Amino acid sequence: MSAPAFGMHLADVVPFNLPSIDYRLIAPILILMGAGLLSVLVEAFIPRRGRRPVQLIVVFVALLAAFAMVLAAAGSRAVTAEGSIAIDGPGLLLQGTLLLVALLAAMLMAERMVDPSGDAFAPRASTLPGSEDERQFTQRGYLQTEIWPLFCFSVSGMLLFVVSNDLLIMFVALEIMSLPLYLLAGMARRRRLLSQEAAMKYFLLGALSSAFFLYGSALLYGFSGSIDLPVIADQITAKPSQSWLLMIGAAFVLIGLLFKVGAVPFHQWVPDVYQGSPTPVTGFMAATVKIAAFGALLRVLYVALGGLQWDWAPMLWIIAILTMVVGSVIAITQTDIKRMLAYSSIAQAGFILVGVVAATREGLASALFYLIAYAFTTIGAFAVIAMARDSSGEATHLSRWAGLGRKSPIVATAFTIFMLALAGIPLTSGFIAKFSVFTAAIAAGDTWLVIVAVLASLVAAFFYLRVVVLMFFAEPGPETATVAVPSVFTTVALAAGATVTVVLGVVPQPVLEMVANADVFIR
């Protein structure tokens, strides 16, 4: 009699089960984290001259291996790691896109032909701008290789962000994603003060948004007694009377995510950070953070807060309209191309929100397609911006782009493709993306939202086309930037961005089917 009792007793005292983790499904995240750690070791033990090639090998191999694992997991639909990670169609699709885009971004970051003194990063981020140290390091041709571990960690955070199924993991992923980005933003080789200011702003506002997210999570925990997204959803349906804990908690979590998305009125950091960061980092951030943040936002809205749709939809309506209108209108007045693209990215976030608000399966699919299309176009656009230069670095003032089409027709044509895509002109990915978002929204009954969106696209088309007009229709003068001849890295990234933009515009059917088949989020 005593033995079983003892046994039961033991089981009661030590209720320890090994957490069930499907390592195959979370392999992409682990690979990138491992690569980040390895990359730190490379910094520590490989001599300076050998670091760059080794780092590049580590990063590229990790990205490709992770992508292969995502492909291998295609079709999986499982909740693993004790309910904290949900691998499903949309999650895998976003992970795959993130990895491919990160691959292109890594190529931009590895470029060191366009700047005569090295790559886009300060040789030593710790030196004072304008100091003797800085000059010496530049003269000796030092290259910063610490960017690579930061890059790997950031990507691993993004991969985790889009599949996290509880608010705490999501918060951790948010931080893993963001902290390295704050550092990367401050490492520009040129205009370092601007870059450091950008990093500071990004960090402070990012920290604020993290605080919102965390506080909201705590309130939601207070409401539901759990941080699991599906449990929160169950509790919302189970408790018919809505508590202020739930309302404020949900609002704060959404505010935290909308910060990362760059939606108005949480967009103030975007222009400064986009402008100040080293251009490859801007491209990386613009493309991937948008994907990751929207992935998380969609998951929170669809999985946890699905029952609250009637409460958040009006709020997101207003935010979507504000985001589209403010982004498009302010972009018109910009004279710096990076700032213009920053406001453009705000406007684009508004268009994606139109699909998000639809809260239907079509809405989800259209938002996914939009993210894919937007990411590749953005990477390509920033690749071009990194190449248009003068003696003092990148020539980002719009007037310097006048007549660029005459001087460098191929690069200008590529940039034209990206601008047309962002403007949503047919035969580019941007058109199909806008089209699917709009139709999904109309099908969900948001006709007026779409009318505003169409008007905002007309406004937006104006400033995108203005750049095209400027490049091709103005005469090149002495002020016109020269396009640096890049190495194979930028060339490949640029070509890939342009190809995807055109292919998704001309034969979008396969990808449309892919996003449609991605199914909904797992609960």
Partner 1 sequence: MNTVPWLTILGAVPLVGSAVVALLPKGRDLIAKQVALVFSLATLALTIVVALQFDGGSSQPFQFIESVPWIPAFGISYGLGVDGIGLVLIALAATLVPVVILAGWRDVEDTPDARGSVKGYFALILALETTMIGVFAATDVFLFYVFFEVMLVPTYFLIGRYGGPQRSYAAVKFLLYSLLGGLFMLAAMIGLYVVSAQGGQGTFNWFDLAGMDIDPTTQKMLFLGFFFAFAIKAPLWPFHTWLPDAAGAAKPGTAVLLIGVLDKVGTFGMIRYCLPIFPAASEFYAPVIIALALVGLFYGAFVALGQGDMKRLFAYSSMSHFGLIVLGIFVFTTIGQSGSVVYMVAHGLSTAALFLAAGFLMQRNRGSSLIADYSGVNKAAPVLAGFFLFGALATLALPGLVSFIGEFMVLLGSFQRFLWVGAIATLGIVITAAYALRLYQRTMTGPVGPGLEGIGDLRGREITALMPVVALTILLGLYPAPVLNVVNPAIDNVMSSIGATDPAPVLGSTGTSSEGTEQ
Residue numbers at the binding site for partner 1 (CB under 8 A):
425-427, 432, 435-436, 438-439, 442-443, 450, 454, 457-458, 461, 465, 469, 473, 475, 507-509, 512-513, 516
**Is 221 in contact with 198 (CB distance < 8 Å)?**
no
Nearer to partner 1, 222 or 477 (CB): 477
Nearer to partner 1, 206 or 508 (CB): 508
Six-digit token pair at 501? Answer: 């933009």
* Secondary structure class of 388 (helix, strand, coil): strand
Q: How far is CA 420 from CA 182, 237, 423, 460, in A?
A: 31, 45, 5, 11
Matching residue, tokens 């939202």 = 449
Six-digit token pair at 349? Answer: 């976030």
Matching residue, tokens 């040789």 = 123
* Secondary structure class of 333 (helix, strand, coil): coil
Q: How far is CA 77 from CA 81, 254, 414, in A?
A: 13, 25, 38
Q: List Cβ neighbours of 385 (8 Å cut-off, separation of 6 or more).
A: 279, 283, 337, 338, 341, 394, 396
Minimum CB separation from partner 1 for residue 508, in Å? 6
* AA letter at 165: N
Cα–Cα nearest to 213, from 271, 151, 153, 300: 300
Minimum CB separation from partner 1 for residue 336, in Å? 23
Nearer to partner 1, 66 or 352 (CB): 352
Minimum CB separation from partner 1 for residue 419, in Å? 12
* Secondary structure class of 390 (helix, strand, coil): strand
Six-digit token pair at 285? Answer: 């951030």
Nearer to partner 1, 126 or 509 (CB): 509
Minimum CB separation from partner 1 for residue 95, in Å? 24
Nearer to partner 1, 31 or 460 (CB): 460
Minimum CB separation from partner 1 for residue 522, in Å? 24
Nearer to partner 1, 33 or 444 (CB): 444
Minimum CB separation from partner 1 for residue 503, in Å? 12
Nearer to partner 1, 226 or 439 (CB): 439
Minimum CB separation from partner 1 for residue 480, in Å? 15
Cα–Cα nearest to 210, from 260, 256, 269: 256
* Secondary structure class of 468 (helix, strand, coil): helix
Cα–Cα nearest to 103, from 28, 40, 43: 28
Nearer to partner 1, 238 or 454 (CB): 454
| H/E run at residue 394 | strand 393-394
What is the torsional sign of CA 198, 203, 204, 207? positive
Minimum CB separation from partner 1 for residue 443, in Å? 7
Radius of gyration over alpha carbons of the chain, in Å?
A: 23
- Spatial separation of the C-alpha atoms in residues 264 and 459, rounded to whole Å: 17
Q: List residues bridging with 388 in a β-sheet.
A: 483
Nearer to partner 1, 155 or 419 (CB): 419
Minimum CB separation from partner 1 for residue 474, in Å? 8
